[in-house]
Amino acid sequence: MSTIPYKIYLEESEMPTQWYNVRGDMKKKPAPLLNPGTLQPMTIDELSGVFCRELAEQELDDTSRFIDIPEEIRNFYRMYRPSPLVRAYCFEEKLQTPAHIYYKFEGNNTSGSHKLNSAIAQAYYAKKQGLKGVTTETGAGQWGTALSMACSYFDLDCQVYMVKVSYEQKPFRREVMRTYGAKVTPSPSMETEVGRRINQEFPGTTGSLGCAISEAVEAATTQEGYRYVLGSVLSQVLLHQSVIGLETKAALDKYGIKADMIIGCAGGGSNLGGLISPFAGEILRGENQYEIIAVEPASCPSLTRGRYAYDFCDTGKVCPLAKMYTLGSGFIPSANHAGGLRYHGMSSVVSELYDQGILKARSVEQTSVFEAAEMFARVEGILPAPESSHAIRVAIDEALKCKETGEEKNIVFGLTGTGYFDMVAYQKYNDGEMNDYIPTDEELNVALSKLPKVE
Ligand SMILES: *Cc1c(COP(=O)(O)O)cnc(C)c1O
């Protein structure tokens, strides 16, 4: 009998009291956000017009290694954290692998994902600043759900611009948000100038994340007492998500387990960045070695096929420019792509770590992702989100490699959430109607050729 339990829980007293900012340990820092008008680095005052002051400070802070988690946030975290680190004994048995597989499960809250970790922090700072409310965008709906929940906790107004196609296809997500008191508007809408412009230019469009971001930013900057919040990509979001990695590291340390490989799915990079931060910090300080793998969809391959360049974060080009691995802000994944992780760019922190060789990236095709999801669901008792299942795919591939070599590697992956609102995608898979679409170089070049010229 092994002494490692199926579920490794930390005591509440062992939960982190500070977030870890990996930028503090990076010798070469991620490139700064630029003002799209002047091409100069964004100042704290410029950012504070869009974001809450303290969040703007966190965004620009690339030297503090640790930042205190305010007590109000720690108390909220206690309601659903620490999240379990699970030793996937049943899955190992099924795969007949000598590898030891662990997953950090973040789906134990109503949003069904890790996004609540940052939503509650962002709502807290908005409340502390005395704001009336916040605006945001949501694609599939997890972020909007998490934020609505966080805002209702702090009595803040929450306005969500939801990508129209999701608004229509995922009415239940919308209803969860409304239950928490959020106002949900399908995007592009006729309520903002940028929405009206996009509707006029592309009649009948079903929207995109990039459009919804532009609308939410406009809504924040044109209403007194409102700021804009974002659920991924930004460095402040990675900072808040470091709670995932800190808990994972603490739980592994508690049982004397050294991870060999850490795997996470990568959309905008926030869960991956949060999970790997403490481990990447050890690599950067020369204390340890880990193999870190970011997994992205083959149909939206920003790390594996994108360019490391300054780009717009949104379609309406109202946001600052960020240097990141990007497919171009005009890139929209193929309509048959059902697995989430559709953002055109990648967090600047993750991009820079990737550029420095601290992490590797792999792209996987969606039918193989759903195959992995199904295998996992059948033995581990959790129906995984399609996004999370990208990480499961590579964990399986690596565990099967160990089977050939006989290596007892410790594989840790992030299970970011549950997939109960993604049953239309599962249905497609079950009906054999899912196919894999990989964009050609020519197709990728269309959006890449329109990257802004910055240098
Ligand atoms: C949003 C989301 C992701 C992708 O976002 P990242 O910022 O890349 O972490 C992954 N999994 C789930 C369940 C999500 O909701």
Q: Choose which residue among 117, 265, 276, 364 to substitute to test ligand 1 binding: the one with the highest number of ligand atoms within 8 A of its C-beta.
A: 265
Distance 326 CA to ligand 1 centre (A): 17
Is it the case that residue 280 has pLDDT exceeding 60?
yes
pTM of the model: 0.97
Distance 227 CA to ligand 1 centre (A): 22
Q: What are the angstrom distances between the C-alpha of 218 and each of 134, 213, 377? A: 12, 9, 41
Whole-number pLDDT of residue 209: 85
Is it the case that residue 1 has pLDDT exceeding 50?
no
Q: Considering only CA atoms, which residue is closest to atom 14 of ligand 1?
A: 113
Q: Choose which residue among 263, 275, 341, 346 to substitute to test ligand 1 binding: the one with the highest number of ligand atoms within 8 A of its C-beta.
A: 341
Lowest mean pLDDT among 109-118, 180-189, 326-335, 365-374: 326-335
Distance 342 CA to ligand 1 centre (A): 10
| Non-local CB neighbours of 226 within 8 Å, separated by 6+ positions | 131, 132, 133, 134, 135, 157, 159, 219, 220
* Residue 341 Cα: closest atom of ligand 1: 4
| Non-local CB neighbours of 391 within 8 Å, separated by 6+ positions | 263, 264, 265, 295, 413, 414, 415, 416
* Residue 112 Cα: closest atom of ligand 1: 13
CB atoms within 10 A of CB 381: 9
Whole-number pLDDT of residue 169: 83
pLDDT digits (tens, 9 = 90+) for 378-431: 999 999 999 999 999 999 999 999 999 999 999 999 999 999 999 999 999 999
Average pLDDT, the chain: 95
Q: Considering only CA atoms, which residue is closest to atom 4 of ligand 1?
A: 267
Percentage of residues in the chain having pLDDT higher than 90: 88
Distance 224 CA to ligand 1 centre (A): 31
Distance 40 CA to ligand 1 centre (A): 30
pLDDT band at 342 (very low <50, low <70, confident <90, very high): confident
The dihedral over CA atoms of 171, 177, 182, 185, expressed in degrees to the nearest 10, equals -30
Decide if 185 contacts 138 (C-beta within 8 A): no
* Residue 272 Cα: closest atom of ligand 1: 9
Whole-number pLDDT of residue 423: 92
Q: Choose which residue among 104, 142, 277 to substitute to test ligand 1 binding: the one with the highest number of ligand atoms within 8 A of its C-beta.
A: 142
| Non-local CB neighbours of 67 within 8 Å, separated by 6+ positions | 18, 19, 21, 58, 61, 239
Is it the case that residue 2 has pLDDT exceeding 60?
no
Distance 203 CA to ligand 1 centre (A): 30
Is it the case that residue 294 has pLDDT exceeding 60?
yes
- In the predicted model, what is the mean pLDDT of residues 1-23? 91
List pocket residues of ligand 1, CB cut-off 6 Å.
113, 115, 142, 232, 265-272, 341, 385, 387-388, 416-417
Distance 388 CA to ligand 1 centre (A): 7
Cα–Cα distance measured from residue 273 to residue 280, given in angstroms and rounded to the nearest whole number:
9
Is it the case that residue 349 has pLDDT exceeding 50?
yes
pLDDT digits (tens, 9 = 90+) for 92-137: 999 999 999 999 999 999 899 999 999 999 999 999 999 999 999 9
Of residues 137, 135, 304, the one with CA closest to residue 227: 135
Cα 260 vs. chain centroid, distance in angstroms? 23
Distance 13 CA to ligand 1 centre (A): 27
Of 334 and 164, which is predicted with more confidence?
Answer: 164
Q: Considering only CA atoms, which residue is closest to atom 13 of ligand 1?
A: 417
Candidates 3.50.50.60, 3.30.2010.10, 3.40.50.1100, 3.40.50.620; correct CATH number of 7-14+70-111+235-448? 3.40.50.1100
- In the predicted model, what is the mean pLDDT of residues 432-451? 95
Structure tokens at 236: 């402040």
Distance 269 CA to ligand 1 centre (A): 8
